[in-house]
Amino acid sequence: MTQNRWRRAAGVEKIFTADTHEQAAGYLREILTDGDTILFKGSRAMRMEKIIELI
């Protein structure tokens, strides 16, 4: 199954990438609304907690 077909099958409508923690946090600040829940998943080396600190 191609990657795009897999994403559709999994219910993923949009995928966004960011080169920095700051870019990711900026985008999330734009799209998040009160009551939204986010699951952050990444290795410790990726330091995903930095995005949480920035938003």
Q: What per-residue confidence (pLDDT) applies to 38?
A: 84
Q: What per-residue confidence (pLDDT) applies to 33?
A: 93
> Which three-class secondary structure string do you get for 12-52?
CCCCCCCCCHHHHHHHHHHHCCCCCCCCCCCCHHHCCHHHH
Q: With contact defined as beta carbons under 8 Å apart, do 38 and 28 qualify?
A: yes
pLDDT 10s per residue in the chain (55 long)? 566 666 666 676 677 888 999 999 999 999 999 998 888 888 889 999 999 999 9
Q: Which of 26, 25, 30, 17 is nearest to 49 (CA)?
A: 25
Q: Is the whole-model pTM more than 0.75? A: no
Q: The tokens of 4 are what?
A: 């795009």
